[in-house]
Amino acid sequence: MLKLEARPQPSKALSFASPLLALALTVLIGIVLFALLGKDPLRALQMFFWEPIKNGYAWTEIAVKATPLVLIGLGLAICYRSNVWNIGAEGQFVIGAVFAGGVAMHAGTETSRAIVLAILLAGVVGGMLWAAIVALLRDRFNANEILVSLMLVYVGVLVLGYLVYGPWKDPKGYNFPQTVTFAASTRIPRLVDGSRLNIGVLIALATVALSWLFLFRTYRGFALQVGGLAPAAARYAGFSSRRALWTALLISGGLAGLAGALEAAGPLGQLTPHVPVGYGFAAIIVAFVGRLHPAGVVFAGILMSMFYIGGELAQSRLGLPKALTGVFQGLLLFALLACDTLIHYRIRWRSAARAPVAAAAVPAATAAKEA
């Protein structure tokens, strides 16, 4: 029988190279999938890995897609480093978009551009409030944060659906479930004319730097990480696990809400039932592929945005199913988990014949003791 045995000293080089190995495995499995679907593998890989980066405009689209992934991934990285398992960033993203949309809908033609700041702050507050529900239930009733945060995703989607189908529905929208189009003054300022690239990219990069400073240059960030790596040592040092729980979840929820606000007042320009596109779940993969490090999250966010854009191109140009994007994301995560497992453990073959011998030795030892 096969047994996993912990390696005495896992290779640091392989640990850093694990995401690249996982990506290579994902590509190889993808080639097999494309061949089984009757498509040219090279042409399909071109859709995923070349078309999204072939020119300047393509890179602006990469940046637009990567911005929410990086923001949410940073918050999740902070959570997971502190051993707080927030799985509901998608719900916090949606509620952040709802709060931001609620502010944007009240703007008129004469509203100052300063309302953009209020919209972004509203998104942060919405995400933090949704994450605070998770923190409160975990802190007060010891509820499992994985289940609570995940279930709140569906509640958040239902809240959005109620609003766009009900009180916030555009009366001039031909009965479509959508809000009014936000006024021009509420739109996130763009950086490049003729593209969708906006200041959200700069906000995301600034957040990366602040996250790095928080995790590796502040006492509070150190306390969070110690609590995640060694809870007993954290308690001995006097670090508050309650404070770590609230800090991690509020930061994570706030960043997810900020991503929702940037999406609602940026590329979308209104609220529709299609606001939740899976960024919150994809960011879990981004966080782990990025090794829970702010710099790694940036590169993982770019890779994941390539999967999104490549999936759309493969669907329109090659007739491949839309679900292929999710398949690639799942393959990348499972390949990464497999690589990490083999880096930290070795597979040993243990003969099944030893089991009966060991079992027979137990009664014999008992009989000798009684004698």
3-class DSSP state for residue 164? helix
3-class DSSP state for residue 280? helix
- The closest of 289, 298, 288 to 79, measured between CA atoms, is 288
- Structure-block tokens of residue 346: 């070795």
Q: Quick one: pLDDT at residue 137?
A: 97
Rounded-to-integer distance, Cα 139 and Cα 143, Å = 8
Burial 334-358 (b: 16+ CB within 10 A, else e): ebbeebbebbeeeeeeeeeeeeeee
Exposed, middle or buried, 195 (CB in 10 Å: 0-12/13-18/19+)? Answer: middle
Rounded-to-integer distance, Cα 102 and Cα 118, Å = 11
Whole-Å CA distances, 296 to 55, 236, 259, 333? 24, 31, 18, 15
Angle at 297 between CA 156 and CA 79, to 5 degrees: 55
Backbone angles phi, psi at 3, to 5 degrees: -140, 140
DSSP-derived secondary structure for 31-60: HHHHHHTTS-HHHHHHHHHTGGGSSHHHHH
- The closest of 130, 144, 122, 95 to 275, measured between CA atoms, is 95
Question: What confidence tens digit (pLDDT) does each residue in 287-339 have?
Answer: 999 999 999 999 999 999 999 999 999 999 989 888 888 888 899 999 999 99
Burial 4-40 (b: 16+ CB within 10 A, else e): eeeeeeeeeeeeeebbebbbebbbebbeebbeeeebe
Q: Quick one: pLDDT at residue 105?
A: 94
3-class DSSP state for residue 343? helix
The 3 state secondary structure assigned to 69-100 is: HHHHHHHHHHHHHCCCCCCCHHHHHHHHHHHH
Rg (CA), the chain: 24
pTM, to two decimals: 0.91
3-class DSSP state for residue 295? helix
Q: Quick one: pLDDT at residue 127?
A: 98
Positions in the chain short of pLDDT 70: 352-371
Q: Quick one: pLDDT at residue 62?
A: 96
Question: What confidence tens digit (pLDDT) does each residue in 186-217 have?
Answer: 999 999 888 899 999 999 999 999 999 999 99
- The closest of 74, 12, 81, 85 to 226, measured between CA atoms, is 81
Question: What confidence tens digit (pLDDT) does each residue in 68-91 have?
Answer: 999 999 999 999 999 999 999 999
Query: How close are the terminal C-alpha atoms of the chain, in Å?
Result: 36
Rounded-to-integer distance, Cα 250 and Cα 256, Å = 10
Where is 211: in which H helix or E strand? Answer: helix 200-217
